[in-house]
Amino acid sequence: MLSSSLIFALTGVALFALGLRGALLHPALLGRVLAINVSGAGVFMLLVALAYRGPAGNPDPLPHALVLTGIVVAVSATALALAMGRRLRQLEEQADD
């Protein structure tokens, strides 16, 4: 029985797996950071899809709150990872000089 919830839940799962693969395999740090974000988006989509109650009913607010928390945590982690990567490159370039 295909419903909007199921469509987006399965899409979320697919994004999660896709991002997971990228996070492990992508050669560049930036690519891995992108992949982690895509994977996170997949989990968020899963949660929001589970909360959906159709065009008429009110959605379950709890998963929405969880996803909002997740979005903020994700941007913090992204910023940290990028800053660390930048610092590492600086140190490596200094060592090369």
Q: How far is CA 94 from the centre of its chain?
A: 33
CB half-sphere exposure, 44, CA atoms < 13 A: 18
Among residues 55 and 97, whose Cβ is nearest to other proteins? 55
Binders of other proteins among 11-40, rule CB under 8 A?
11, 13-40
Phi, psi angle pair for 96, to nearest 5°: -75, -25
Among residues 19 and 97, whose Cβ is nearest to other proteins? 19
Binders of other proteins among 32-91, rule CB under 8 A?
32-53, 55, 58-91
Assess 1 for contact with other proteins (CB under 8 A): yes
**CB contact at 8 A, 23 and 41:** no
Among residues 1 and 97, whose Cβ is nearest to other proteins? 1
